[in-house]
Amino acid sequence: MKKITNICCIGAGYVGGPTMSVIANKCPEIKVTVVDINQKRIDAWNDQDLDKLPVYEPGLKEIVGESRGKNLFFSTDVDNAIVEADMIFISVNTPTKTYGKGKGQAADLKYIELCARNIAKVATTDKIVVEKSTLPVRTAQAIKNILDNTGNGVKFEILSNPEFLAEGTAIEDLLQADRVLIGGENTPSGQEAKDALSAVYEHWLPKANVIQTNLWSSELSKLVANAFLAQRISSINSISALCEKTDANVAEVANAIGRDSRIGPKFLNASVGFGGSCFQKDILNLVYICKTYGLDEVSNYWEQVVLMNDYQKRRFADNIISTLYNTVSGKKIVFYGWAFKKDTNDTRESSAIYVADALLDEQAELVIYDPKVTAEQVYADLDYLNTRTEAENRKLVTVVNDPIAATENAHAIAILTEWDEFKTYDWEKIFDLMLKPACVFDGRRIMESSKLKNIGFHCYRIGESC
């Protein structure tokens, strides 16, 4: 079996940075270099102030602090890192296409192809190339076709090693992974490559937790895993709409069905909808693959998960508007939370963005507070929607650092991220600062609505009849 002594990871984002930091920490004899063409991002990874890392994850700065400069390095010298590496991880962005064939559903693989062509151009020795990005099935074959036709005599083995990290618990997910999936070709050299990557993870994980499959199974398993998790969220959110029309309480319904051992309690928390970089993108990718193979009924089934998620976000925004007497024009609404979930600064596909967009269309004045998301990121997210000018977004949206003072003369508060700190606030003080009647729209079901009502708030929670 080939012994790995030097690893390169192309892509220093939410997957590449934390994953490579843990590998370096647990494999001190392996040199790990994370490369990215974004100089600003690499500078942040190298910043002496570990609180300025570009990715926020509980436990990450401690892991980086222990290994950086010893066997963990961050660099923009992509070519040199490729030349030196035995194993190369590709962990670049694979967004949903916004153009051409497959627009709005298929994964945009241009960054993956650029990586493969760059590896083919500069590699001078045999390499194991590992797909770490979430990719559609058969992408490994496309990478292999590019690498095998370089004509420079270098041999490449392609592996699929999808990540199953949940942002906010990524470090714990890496350290205590319930499974690591490695897909490769069932040939002698393919098996050797799979065993080499398995040996890296077996530095800290039981061998039984490392699963080896063929390439197709590995690539598809990632998409299906995220689709199943998102499906549970959309399912309970659909029931929350029914609960709001009846005297049922979605939390009680979720608890009742979650006690069934065949169902279980996880991912049954009704909310304003799922976000993040993976769920929607992976489901749409699955939808596109099914359509490509003529499986229209299968495609329609999974597409409904995304449609239900969009419906939930619209329904939440509409509830705010209708509750505030069918107009929010000129009204101050405070958002608690902008990240798509707690314990991360990632805002990709955050429900907050789309709820804000709907309210801004009605000329609401929004005040945003999130403990880890910068004002620059908030404005970038809104500008990217391209539904208003940058000047309009900055006129209607204010990003603040003081969540309590922000509520002065506010008509309503919308809780869009389940940050633990929101539970600790002096809500009586907040109520005194707001205009009356004061409303809280709890899109993450983290507050006790009865407690808020006792203070004087009109409290609206997902899945409660009001």
Annotated catalytic residues are 163, 222, 278
To 10 degrees, what angle do helices 279-292 and 296-323 make? Answer: 150
Cβ neighbours for 429, distance < 8 A, ≥ 6 positions apart: 404
Q: How far apart are the C-alpha atoms of 444 and 441, rounded to whole Å?
A: 9
In order, the DSSP letters of 117-129 are: HHHHHH--S-EEE
- Tell me the two tokens of residue 266: 């996880």
Q: What is the Cα–Cα distance from 465 to 155, expressed in whole angstroms?
A: 63
Question: Which class for 246: exposed (0-12), middle (13-18), buried (19 or more C-beta within 10 A)?
Answer: exposed
Inter-residue contact 61 to 51 (CB < 8 Å): yes
CB 44 within 8 A of CB 54: yes
Q: Is 465 in a helix, a strand, or coil?
A: coil
Per-position b or e across 71-102, b if 16+ CB within 10 A of its CB? bbbbbeebeebbbebbbbbbbbbbebbeeeeb
The closest alpha carbon to 93, from 9, 166, 11, 160, belongs to: 11
Please state, in angstroms and rounded to a whole number, the distance separating the CA atoms of residues 183 and 191. Answer: 10
* C-alpha–C-alpha distance, residues 249 and 270, integer Å: 10
Find the distance separating the first CA and the last CA of the chain, reported in whole Å. 64
458 three-class SS: strand
The SS3 call for residue 403 is: coil
CA–chain centroid gap for 425, Å, is: 27
- Euclidean distance between CA atoms 339 and 332, whole angstroms: 20
Cβ 328 vs Cβ 362: under 8 Å: yes
Of 150, 183, 178, nearest to 165 (Cα)? 178
